[in-house]
Amino acid sequence: MKFERNLGVIDRVLRAGISLAMVYFGFFGNYLITDHIAGLILGVMGVGSLIIAIIGYCPLYGLIGFSTYTPRANAPR
């Protein structure tokens, strides 16, 4: 599967923030998610989201051909 960038900057920042929160509340902080298994699942999903945010490609976006990425370095010929 080719990794074509389709996440814009804001998109990636939001995703990273949310995935970090997910990882934290899933694995570490016990007060929001008190069930262990639920915490595990949440943590794993958070990690996955984080990976997606890092590589800049969301397979869901790729499926529907949606992109929030606007290449700025496109000089007219």
Q: Which residues bind another protein (CB under 8 A)?
A: 32-35, 37-39, 41-42, 45, 60, 63-64
Counting Cα atoms < 13 Å in the Cβ hemisphere of 71 gives 7
Choose between 1 and 75: whose C-beta lies nearer to another protein. Answer: 1
Choose between 13 and 30: whose C-beta lies nearer to another protein. Answer: 30
The residues, ordered by sequence, that sit 6+ positions from 3 with a Cβ below 8 Å of its Cβ are: 55, 56, 57
Tokens of 19: 């995935």
- Tell the smallest beta-carbon distance from residue 56 to another protein (Å): 19
Choose between 2 and 72: whose C-beta lies nearer to another protein. Answer: 2
